[in-house]
């Protein structure tokens, strides 16, 4: 049994769950329309360019959750995942997950999105184990702040290494699937890196390194 690790956004799903959640928060009145979406999109452009400070993105996009309970947020997330996210699941992702299950591999999603989103989406794929950005609670309410190491760029490697120790697991024979240049630190750590619909920078690196380039739909 080996680890099969998956990025989430633009890898398992055809879209970015955090951006779609931003639109959902505007739709339900938790955030203020055009200005909120416009600033989020600018931050996402920085992400695509590999220049984003994830702390800035999280501080901005978590602001509508301040003072809300996890239960209140989960009540909104569940139909959001069903109505917005499930329709953009990649069929090829589902087939690949099934193949890894058949091989007896252990499935893990590691994502630079908030844990409450990633875990809800991973559950729909039948994946129980998730590493994502953890949020701080104060007296049972979201504070708008993150906690711990953020699962972004090198932070994914740091969090995964801690998880491996906790789980008495190893990266021997491990696979990792991702679309993003931001995941190069982790792609370079596993035995079997796979690029999925890679961005231009990741594609160029994959071609040079001889990594598989997958076109998922």
Q: Collect all residues with Cβ–Cβ distance below 8 Å to 158 and sequence separation of at least 6.
A: 149
Residue 198, pLDDT above cutoff 90: yes
Handedness of CA 199, 201, 203, 205 (dihedral sign): negative
Residue 48, pLDDT above cutoff 90: no
Residue 8, pLDDT above cutoff 90: yes
Active-site residue (options: 7, 179, 183, 199): 7
Q: What is the pTM of this model?
A: 0.95
Residue 129, pLDDT above cutoff 90: yes
Domain 3-15+69-214 maps to which CATH number in 3.30.420.40, 3.40.50.1000, 3.30.70.2860, 3.30.750.24?
A: 3.40.50.1000
If pLDDT is split at 50, 70 and 90, which confidence band does 1 have? confident
Residue 206, pLDDT above cutoff 90: yes
Q: Is 183 a catalytic residue?
A: no
State the angle between helix axes of 17-27 and 70-80 in degrees (0 to 180), rounded to the nearest 10. Answer: 110
Residue 33, pLDDT above cutoff 90: no
Residue 207, pLDDT above cutoff 90: yes
Rounded to the nearest angstrom, the gap between the alpha carbon of residue 54 and the centroid of all alpha carbons in its chain is 13
Q: Is 7 a catalytic residue?
A: yes
Closest CA to 112 of 144, 154, 174: 154
DSSP character string of 71-129 = HHHHHHHHHHIIIIIGGGB-HHHHHHHHHHHHTTPEEEEEEEEEHHHHHHHHHHTT---
Distances (CA, A) of 172 to 105, 112, 179, 186, 189: 12, 23, 22, 14, 10
52, 60 Cβ separation under 8 angstroms: no
Report the pLDDT averaged over residues 1-11.
97
Q: Nearest 5°: phi and psi at 119?
A: -65, -35
């Amino acid at each position: 049994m080996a680890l099969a690790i998956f990025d989430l956004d633009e890898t398992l799903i055809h879209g970015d769950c955090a951006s779609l959640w931003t639109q959902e928060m505007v739709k339900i009145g938790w955030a203020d329309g055009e200005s909120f979406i416009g600033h989020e999109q600018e931050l996402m452009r920085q992400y695509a360019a590999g220049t984003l400070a994830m702390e800035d993105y999280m501080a901005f996009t978590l602001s509508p959750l301040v003072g809300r309970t996890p239960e209140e947020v989960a009540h909104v997330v569940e139909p959001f995942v069903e109505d917005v996210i499930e329709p953009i699941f990649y069929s090829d992702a589902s087939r690949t997950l099934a193949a890894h299950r058949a091989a007896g591999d252990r499935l893990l999603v590691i994502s630079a999105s908030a844990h409450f989103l990633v875990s809800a989406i991973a559950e729909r794929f039948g994946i129980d184990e998730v590493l994502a950005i953890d949020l701080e609670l104060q007296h049972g309410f979201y504070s708008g702040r993150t906690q711990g190491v953020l699962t972004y760029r090198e932070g994914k490697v740091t969090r995964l290494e801690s998880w491996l120790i906790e789980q008495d697991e190893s990266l021997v024979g491990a696979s990792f699937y991702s679309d993003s240049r931001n995941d190069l630190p982790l792609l370079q750590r596993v035995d079997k890196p796979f690029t999925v619909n890679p961005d231009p920078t990741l594609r160029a690196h994959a071609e040079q390194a001889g990594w598989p380039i997958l076109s998922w739909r």
